[in-house]
Chain A
Amino acid sequence: MSARTRELGILILVGLITVTGFASVYIARQNEISSGSLSYVGFFFALYLVAHLVARLTVPDADPYLMPMAAFLTGIGLTEIYRLNPTDALRQGLWVVIGVACFALTLIALRHDFRRLESYKYLFGLSALALLFMPVLPKIGRTINGARLWVHVGSLQFQPGELGKIAMIVFLAAYLHSKQEVLALGRLKDFGPLLAIWGCAMLVLVATRDLGSALLFFGIFLAILYLATSRLLYVGVGLTLFLIGAAGVYQTTSHVRSRVTIWLNPWTTQAIPCPTKGGILMQRQECESFQLVKSLYSIAQGGFTGTGLGKGTFSLPHGNTLIPDLNTDFIFSALAQELGLVGVAALLLVLMLFVVRGFRIALQVDDGFSKLMAAGLTFGFALQTFIIIGGILRIIPLTGITLPFISYGGSSVVANFILLAGLMLVSQRANEAR
């Protein structure tokens, strides 16, 4: 059986799972939603069929599991978004169309040899920086939940950082690949670029006031640096520098400081002045850590088996939402309540499998640039997943970034489809060479 035929088989399985998901949401909430919305599944499936056909034409030998896993994750995400807010699901569906289009375009454009990207490395580096700092610009930047990550153009709203992340990975893979030997020598003057990027990460952190994005970018940078130079010392020094910088920002930025306080003590027994409510006395779990605490209640409510899709409690009887940003940053806590530990563990295992396949591609491919790119993309995917879910589960301070493929949000969907295309291109090259 060829790789693509295998892919099609698993895609059909994923389609069936998605049908089941939508059907159970429909059964649980039929008073509220019409059966016509079940056509989402058909639409969704057709979309992946197109993606599959494009892959058959452009990357016939690429890994057959990546796309079905991405389909599974978008399917689950779409089902939950649909359950929370059918209107958002329509928009998300449109973004998936755009995402698949970008996926197809990337594959078609780079089907002969994606390695020519290497010669445009500085273009990627510059566009990464431009995308990263775009939200800071006065007219179009928006601050949402204390972090400046959004760009508004008309009614369109997106997080350019998501695309910036991909561009950054391509730049780092290309740049570090070319400077591999020099850097490995470890001369002091070669620390220049390292310090420059650390400075950039800190700038992003200060400018966007978002610990999560800074951690993500710097983590990706350190990972690729290590992969290219084999120097764990760089990782150590880099992490130390990051911690020093983060401590500095912690001292000076109240937004970051409150995130840490919330993380350490979400519950309080006595009332404290609530800064967002004009300083009136409230318990912290009713004020600053409201979102985290309610999200933990939602996760705990799921227990082992969950309430079932469509049966969870997310709003007061008259409709007020209990957890803000449920379908973007907090989609994991919605899924955890409705699917339970069983469902969440399955979801995390699929994410792990995706990561395993990604690194496998990096191991199989034979040139340095491809290795660095595949490993960088995969590591970025894993780290982003860890930062958002880890924040929700109180392993690390909570920062609002999206859950790959699952969260509601256009830029995230598009970026992740491009990431998928990148991995499949590398995989095609690895398998072709055999």
Chain B
Amino acid sequence: MNARIRLAALVSLAMLVALIVASTYWQAWAAPDLANKSDNTIRQISEFKIDRGRIFAADGTVLAKNRIVHSRGQTYYFRRYPLGSLTAAAVGYATQTRSRAGLERSANDYLTGADQSLSGAIKQIGDRLLGSTIHGSDVYTSLNLEAQRVATAALGSNCGAAVAIEPSTGRVLALVTKPTYNPNDIEGHYNRALHARSPSCSGESALLDRATQGLYPPGSSFKVVTTAAALDTGRFTPDSSFSDPGYCMEYGQRVYNYGDQSGREVFGSIILSSALQHSVNSVFCNIGKALGMRTLMNYARRFGFDQTPSIDLPNNALAISGLYKSSRLLSPGEEDHQDPGRTAFGQDKLLVTPLQMAMVAATVANNGKMMRPHLVDRVRRSNGELMRIKPETLGRAIKPETAMELTQMMESVVSGGTGMMAQISGVRVAGKTGTAENGIGQPNTTWFISFAPADAPRVAVAVVLQNQTGVGGTTAAPIARQIMQAILTTTANSNP
């Protein structure tokens, strides 16, 4: 019988070995996957036992801190946001029941101390074995609170967003969306946060970050990209001459210039720089037709279109700017069948985010070199070690000469064109207005993208407003001016 007993023993041991193998699978192999599941409450709650790092504005003001709670023999670190809704779009929230958003999500590794260097990691294992609390790293952002306040106040009860970037580094100075929510409400008062709406944009969620997720037709603000392509390819110069009958022929039909109560504008013979200054649709329509859809979109891609922006925010809060057909992003292969004329002045299928348009302005301001937009400036580990996030070049969109010519043309928009309300005394401002029509009888989406000072840019801005009766030059331009002014004054004497 002993041979049979050995077989039974073998079977029994094989079963127990299978248990060891399965444990290894779940605890070593599958563990990282399970840790990232959104319903992994155990993980989420255990992370509240970490003394989460704080989040700061550029001036050192605390944006997110911990509230220590002792419960049932455990110490938990819950989040408080002292400034409430002011920086909600960028900072986001970390809660027990609603997971995380914003930097609280994308910078979670820093905040929970999971980014440690080797020595730090060894110390952390020691901490864990001893049962002491793990301390996360503090995150210092580039957010300029004065600009945040000004932008929040200027956007008022509108539905819209504003993004400000430092052109030479890509540091995000302001990121504002309206309406917005109070991150302190997410836990416990979720509905209050969700329904924080303003009368002018009913039905829109306050949790949507319009600055990075909102997709709007760019209107004439896209003419900056079209002009960049026109000049950079060498096909046109600022002095290239066009004849404007007040419309452009597209597929046998007339596409008219912008018009108001006094009727359609007709400019007759006009050069390219004046066409940008006065935002003449027919000229850009003809440029678009001359360049073709492929060239136009290739330049748009050089500015970051058709890609998820590389900003340090969670991917689920980022939208891709590009050509859309019934909410679906068109692939480059489908471009050829689209209309280059209307695309060239930012209509038809083009949808963009404010972040993308700020990147366009910042890239022109930075001599055509595109910098990676980022919010995290520095990280201070719990052992005092300071880590700086270096500016990163994403690529060259246009030649420096093109950028220079384009800057001059954009200056003329503000000095004597459609963007005169963005003028700041004593500062040269370059900008471009945009008024996207959403159909007959529908309110406009208005834009202003700009940078200043034009000769040595320190700030690039994009402002978008939904549901407007006015145009970009009268609605969005003054808001952009205030934001630029706030940044130019607060950074005049300090450079962090």
A: which residues have CB within 8 A of B? 27-33, 223, 226-227, 230, 267, 283, 285-286, 293-294, 296-305, 307-308, 311, 313-319, 322, 336-337, 340-341, 344-345, 348-349, 351-352, 355-356, 359, 362-363, 368, 371, 375, 378-379, 382-383, 385-386, 389-390, 393-395
Q: Can you list, as one digit per residue, whether each of B1-35 has a CB less than 8 Å from chain A (1) or not (0)?
A: 11011101101110111111011111110110011
- CB of B73 within 8 A of CB of A344, answer no
How far is B6's CA from A31's CA once the two chains are assembled, in angstroms? Answer: 51
- CB of B5 within 8 A of CB of A359, answer yes
Separation in Å of the A242 CB from the closest CB of chain B? 16
How far is B11's CA from A286's CA once the two chains are assembled, in angstroms? Answer: 36
Please classify the interface of chain A as helix (H, G, I), strand (E, B), loop, or mixed, using the class held by over half of its residues.
helix
Picked from A30, A349, A359, A393, the residue with its CB within 8 Å of the CB of B22 is A393
How far is B131's CA from A30's CA once the two chains are assembled, in angstroms? Answer: 13
Picked from A267, A313, A378, A394, the residue with its CB within 8 Å of the CB of B42 is A313
- CB of A296 within 8 A of CB of B26, answer yes
- CB of A375 within 8 A of CB of B41, answer no
How far is B11's CA from A359's CA once the two chains are assembled, in angstroms? Answer: 11
Tally of contact residues, B, Cβ under 8 A: 49
Would you list the 8 A-B pairs with minimal beta carbon distance, nearest first? Answer: A32-B73, A382-B12, A359-B9, A393-B22, A386-B15, A300-B34, A31-B73, A300-B31
- CB of B31 within 8 A of CB of A303, answer yes
Instruction: Give A344's nearest chain B residue, CB to CB.
Output: B23
How far is B35's CA from A308's CA once the two chains are assembled, in angstroms? Answer: 18
Picked from B16, B39, B74, the residue with its CB within 8 Å of the CB of A317 is B74
How far is B74's CA from A296's CA once the two chains are assembled, in angstroms? Answer: 23
Picked from A286, A316, A371, the residue with its CB within 8 Å of the CB of B5 is A371
Q: Can you list, as one digit per residue, whether each of B124-135 has a CB less than 8 Å from chain A (1) or not (0)?
A: 010011010000
- CB of A341 within 8 A of CB of B23, answer yes
Q: Which residues of A contact B30 (CB under 8 A)?
A: 300
Looking at the complex, which of B45-53, B289-297, B363-371 is the stretch in contact with chain A? B45-53
> Is residue B76 within 8 Å, beta carbon to beta carbon, of the partner chain?
yes
How far is B20's CA from A305's CA once the two chains are assembled, in angstroms? Answer: 15
> Is residue B390 within 8 Å, beta carbon to beta carbon, of the partner chain?
no
Please classify the interface of chain B as helix (H, G, I), strand (E, B), loop, or mixed, using the class held by over half of its residues.
helix
Q: Which residues of B contact A318 (CB under 8 A)?
A: 71
Q: Which residues of A contact B48 (CB under 8 A)?
A: 317
Instruction: Give A381's nearest chain B residue, CB to CB.
Output: B12
Known: A32-B72, A382-B16, A386-B18. 5 other contacts (CB 8 A): A301-B31, A302-B27, A355-B16, A383-B15, A389-B19
Q: Which residues of B contact A363 (CB under 8 A)?
A: 2, 5-6
Instruction: Give A342's nearest chain B residue, CB to CB.
Output: B27
Q: Which residues of B contact A230 (CB under 8 A)?
A: 1, 4
Separation in Å of the A431 CB from the closest CB of chain B? 17
Known A-B contacts A296-B26, A379-B12; the reply to A317 vs B131 at CB < 8 A is no
- CB of A313 within 8 A of CB of B9, answer no
Instruction: Give B129's nearest chain A residue, CB to CB.
Output: A308
How far is B34's CA from A394's CA once the two chains are assembled, in angstroms? Answer: 14
> Is residue B235 within 8 Å, beta carbon to beta carbon, of the partner chain?
no
How far is B131's CA from A27's CA once the two chains are assembled, in angstroms? Answer: 9
Instruction: Give B45's nearest chain A residue, CB to CB.
Output: A313
> Is residue B200 within 8 Å, beta carbon to beta carbon, of the partner chain?
no
- CB of A390 within 8 A of CB of B129, answer no
Q: Which residues of B contact A267 (CB under 8 A)?
A: 37
Known A-B contacts A317-B76, A341-B28; the reply to A375 vs B16 at CB < 8 A is no
- CB of A362 within 8 A of CB of B49, answer no
B: which residues have CB within 8 A of A? 1-2, 4-6, 8-9, 11-13, 15-20, 22-28, 30-31, 34-35, 37, 39-43, 45-46, 48-49, 69-74, 76, 96, 125, 128-129, 131
Instruction: Give A352's nearest chain B residue, CB to CB.
Output: B16
Instruction: Give B41's nearest chain A residue, CB to CB.
Output: A322
Q: Which residues of A contact B46 (CB under 8 A)?
A: 301, 307, 313
Instruction: Give A318's nearest chain B residue, CB to CB.
Output: B71
Separation in Å of the B38 CB from the closest CB of chain A? 10
How far is B166's CA from A192's CA once the two chains are assembled, in angstroms? Answer: 87
Separation in Å of the A18 CB from the closest CB of chain B? 19
Q: Which residues of A contact B15 (CB under 8 A)?
A: 382-383, 385-386, 390
- CB of A297 within 8 A of CB of B73, answer no
Separation in Å of the A218 CB from the closest CB of chain B? 15
How far is B257's CA from A101's CA once the two chains are assembled, in angstroms? Answer: 98
Instruction: Give A393's nearest chain B residue, CB to CB.
Output: B22
Q: Which residues of B contact A307 (CB under 8 A)?
A: 46, 128
Q: Which residues of B contact A311 (CB under 8 A)?
A: 131
Picked from A29, A293, A304, the residue with its CB within 8 Å of the CB of B73 is A29
Q: Which residues of B contact A348 (CB under 8 A)?
A: 16, 19-20, 23
Known A-B contacts A226-B4, A385-B19, A395-B18; the reply to A322 vs B42 at CB < 8 A is yes
Picked from B4, B12, B22, B27, the residue with its CB within 8 Å of the CB of A355 is B12
How far is B76's CA from A304's CA once the two chains are assembled, in angstroms? Answer: 24
Q: Which residues of A contact B35 (CB under 8 A)?
A: 300-301
Q: Which residues of B contact A293 (CB under 8 A)?
A: 39
Instruction: Give A375's nearest chain B residue, CB to CB.
Output: B5
Q: Which residues of A contact B28 (CB under 8 A)?
A: 303-304, 341
Q: Which residues of B contact A336 (CB under 8 A)?
A: 23, 26-27
Separation in Å of the B311 CB from the closest CB of chain A? 28
Separation in Å of the A180 CB from the closest CB of chain B? 9
Separation in Å of the B51 CB from the closest CB of chain A? 15
Instruction: Give B37's nearest chain A residue, CB to CB.
Output: A297
How far is B23's CA from A300's CA once the two chains are assembled, in angstroms? Answer: 9
Instruction: Give A227's nearest chain B residue, CB to CB.
Output: B4
Q: Which residues of B contact A344 (CB under 8 A)?
A: 23, 27
How far is B39's CA from A299's CA once the two chains are assembled, in angstroms? Answer: 15
